[in-house]
Amino acid sequence: MAYYSSNAVPCANWYDSAKVGILHDLLRSVAKTRASVLEIGGGSGRDAAYLVRLGCETTYTDGCEEMVAKALHLHPELAERARCAPFPLSDDDDLLCERFDLVLCAAVIMHLDDPNLERLASQVARLIVDGGHLVLSHSRGHQCGRDSRDSDGRLFLERTPAIVDEIFDAVGFREVRLIENSDGLGRDGITWTTHVLQKMP
Ligand SMILES: C[S@@+](CC[C@H](N)C(=O)[O-])C[C@H]1O[C@@H](n2cnc3c(N)ncnc32)[C@H](O)[C@@H]1O
């Protein structure tokens, strides 16, 4: 999180400029008006603000305080339901008592090692109502050393779509859609996989 704390302002300005038409079309297809939605690692607030425009009851979170502050500066309409929430959450976090129709977690899980991703997966399974959806994206192609860290020290653990499916399958999700697309920020060599997963009753 240290990288995002030190670079929240330039990162958020940059993320807010990303081309995300494919993601927003996907969100529109799964998010019903007045659905309750949680965003994890929401960065600039770009997608949470879009969900608010769709009429969803949107809770924006990010693990980095400075990023939350910048997102609220860019999108003040998120203020009512915004908070810092580093995942996986501690077991006594109040957020774990809430339930959502949809959880969005875009471009975050590469920064989590396997034990933390498995804890995030079981917390997300708890946070989503039966039949609800998880929209989850992750990248491939970042330039990293053998320790899977980039030159800024950020962890970029690259996982195949099958491995991500396996982790979420183990906590009760089944895949309903899988989309591969190019980088919304125009970077050569970086590709994205977006999973739409449904929580089985
Ligand atoms: C690459 S940015 C993506 C931001 C946004 N979701 C988007 O698609 O533009 C990753 C974001 O995840 C946040 N983040 C990183 N690790 C996190 C964690 N363990 N829990 C919650 N947020 C985290 C960072 O602060 C940053 O805002």
CA of 106 to the centre of ligand 1 (A): 8
Angle between helix 46-53 and helix 21-30 axes, rounded to 10 deg: 40
How far is residue 167's CA from residue 172's CA, in Å, rounded to a whole number? 9
Is residue 84 a contact partner of residue 60, using CB atoms and an 8 Å limit?
no
Amino acid symbol at 139: S
Contacts of 160 (CB under 8 A, 6+ apart): none
Total domains in the fold of the chain: 1
Note down the domain range covering 147.
2-199
Tokens of 186: 């125009």
The parts of the chain modelled with pLDDT lower than 50 are none
Task: Determine the longest span between alpha carbons in the chain, in angstroms.
Answer: 45
C-alpha closest to that of 187 among 153, 141, 119: 141
86 upstream amide cis, omega within 30 of 0 = no
The predicted pLDDT at position 140 comes to 93
CA of 190 to the centre of ligand 1 (A): 17
Torsion, CA 125, CA 129, CA 132, CA 133, rounded to 10: -30
The predicted pLDDT at position 1 comes to 78
Is residue 137 a contact partner of residue 23, using CB atoms and an 8 Å limit?
yes
Is residue 31 a contact partner of residue 57, using CB atoms and an 8 Å limit?
no
Which residue among 3, 4, 51, 90 is best mutated to probe the pocket of ligand 1, counting the most ligand atoms within 8 A of its Cβ?
A: 4
Amino acid symbol at 104: L
CATH number of the domain within which 97 lies: 3.40.50.150
The predicted pLDDT at position 33 comes to 87
